[in-house]
Amino acid sequence: MAPAAPEQNVDLLSASQYFFVYNAFSFTLACMAATTLFLWFARSQVAPAYRTALTISGLVTAIAAYHYWRIFESWDSAYDVIDGTVTVTGLAFNDAYRYVDWLLTVPLLLIELVLVMKLSRSETVSKSWKLGIAAALMIILGYPGEISDTIQERAIWGALSTIPFLYIVWELFKGLGESIERQPVEVRKLIKDARLVTFASWGFYPIVYMAPFVGAGGGSVETALQVGYTIADIIAKCGVGILIYVIAARKSEFEPGWGAKAGTAPAT
């Protein structure tokens, strides 16, 4: 999946596989854009303290919508389908848009989780910095492995990238875990769900990263990887975003003056 290597799949990608990925990209673009608008409209329906969490959740899906549009265009220009046969145009399919996307969205995903908890200012700032930097490091260290030509380099960078990943897991379940126990009992389970979905949806990415280790290649593997990425992205970004909204709406009911004023209890 280095930018210059789509040729390997040229005679292996069937027209139906090509269109399946094509439609999956378009579907994901629509999902991301729709979630963005939903989250931004919802800002006025939650107490002011939770609006930044919704702004950022919507930014995550907006940034992903932009990148899915770029990925869609790149996929479109990398292949021609004439009379049911797929040929490569010579232009590379730029899968690196995914890394560029993650570099922005993965830190923001962790920050939206911190923000919706409404911790003390110092705790919010320190947890956002720690988790944000660890997330950025995880992505940056993964990238050289992704574009390398050798399995050895891929393994080394993959291992280095695992260090910040383990730190994030520890911070989410240990450090943030203690703060979650101090959340109102009505939203405690929802926040744990949001944490779990964030964490579980990441499980797909290392599987894709390690695909070359088992010599996986060809049209059906490429199709499975691309569609798998889109499903993981929809769960991690739209799914978690909606959860953040539900948490913000429930917690707004406890804000002095807000629940009554807005006649809240706003859904889901």
If the CB atoms of residues 40 and 173 are measured against its own copies, the closer one turns out to be: 40
Beta bridge partners, 87, equal: 80
Neighbouring CB atoms inside 10 A of 181's CB total 9
Binding site for its own copies (CB under 8 A): 2-5, 7, 15-16, 19, 22-23, 26-27, 30-31, 33-34, 37-38, 40-45, 47-49, 51-53, 55-56, 59, 62-63, 66-67, 70, 81-84, 90-92, 94, 96-97, 99-101, 103-104, 115, 121, 124-125, 128, 147, 255-258, 262-268
Report, in Å, the least distance between residue 172 CB and its own copies.
19
189 burial type by CB count under 10 A (0-12 exposed, 13-18 middle, 19+ buried): exposed
If the CB atoms of residues 104 and 236 are measured against its own copies, the closer one turns out to be: 104
- Contact indicator for 239, 190 with CB cutoff of 8 Å: no
CB contact set of 109 (below 8 Å; sequence gap of 6+): 60, 135, 198, 236, 237, 240
Report, in Å, the least distance between residue 166 CB and its own copies.
26
Report, in Å, the least distance between residue 84 CB and its own copies.
4
Report, in Å, the least distance between residue 97 CB and its own copies.
7
Report, in Å, the least distance between residue 109 CB and its own copies.
13
Residue 103's identity, in one-letter code, is: L
If the CB atoms of residues 215 and 263 are measured against its own copies, the closer one turns out to be: 263
Residue 238's identity, in one-letter code, is: C
If the CB atoms of residues 159 and 265 are measured against its own copies, the closer one turns out to be: 265
- Contact indicator for 114, 94 with CB cutoff of 8 Å: no
CA dihedral 61, 147, 168, 240 (to 10 degrees): 20
